[in-house]
Amino acid sequence: MSRRSARVRWEPIIQKFNDSGKSAKQWAKEEGISYQSLILWKRKLKEPPAFVELNGSVGTFELRWRGIRIELSSFEELKELGQLLVQWC
């Protein structure tokens, strides 16, 4: 399995774990996933991506970054969010 395909495979697994609110050991055991692999990929995926994924459909945008999900209903809201982030930085 290539690094890219492994990363693509593990991203939703880590997201599901992060959303669970459970300890890594407990969640891995319940899901039948290696605890060591879970910790390894959680660490690997913690590194900031080179880009931010932006999915758009008719009238909506979904932004996901580091486990944060933001849904916007218009391009104007997306521009406002961009301006807000620039002000914070």
pLDDT tens column, 22-54: 999 999 999 999 999 999 999 888 766 555 555
Alpha-helical (H) ranges within the chain are 3-20, 24-31, 35-46, 75-88
Q: In Å, what is the CA distance from 17 to each residue of 6, 9, 50, 83?
A: 17, 13, 23, 31
What pLDDT score does 33 carry?
A: 94
Indicate the pTM of the whole model.
0.50
Comparing CA positions, the residue from 69, 68, 15 lying closest to residue 41 is 15
- 62: enclosing H helix or E strand: strand 60-65
In this prediction, residue 68 carries a pLDDT of 82
Specify whether 8 is located in the same domain as 42: yes
Residues 24 and 9 in one domain: yes
| Count of structural domains, the chain | 2
pLDDT of residue 40: 92
Q: State whether 13 and 41 are in the same domain.
A: yes
Structural domain including 23 reads 3-46
Per-residue confidence (pLDDT) for residue 26, from 0 to 100? 95
Same domain for 33 and 57? no
Residue 55: which residues within 8 A CB-CB, separation 6 or more? 61, 62, 64
| Segment 5-27 mean pLDDT | 90
Domain identity same for 42 and 57:
no
